[in-house]
């Protein structure tokens, strides 16, 4: 069973959202992460981000 997942490759992407509050002029940044069970050959970074 352990060898079954030995070839599993994953890619992770990070999405950042920057927002400025108009009243306080404070900038906030939020990050969200996603993990894909596809190898780099199956999906490029551009395809994952799109």
**pLDDT in single tens digits along all 50 residues of the chain:** 455 555 556 778 888 999 999 999 999 999 998 888 877 788 887 887 77
pLDDT at 7: 56
Side-chain-facing half-sphere of 33: CA atoms under 13 Å: 4
Q: How far apart are CA 21 and CA 28, in angstroms?
A: 8
pLDDT at 39: 77
Contact between 48 and 36 (Cβ < 8 Å): yes
Q: How far apart are CA 40 and CA 50, in angstroms?
A: 15
């Amino acid at each position: 069973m352990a060898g079954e997942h030995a070839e599993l490759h994953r890619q992770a992407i990070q999405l950042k959202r920057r927002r400025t509050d108009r009243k306080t002029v404070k900038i906030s940044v939020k990050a969200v992460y996603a993990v894909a069970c596809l190898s780099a050959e199956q999906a490029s970074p551009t395809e994952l981000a799109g």
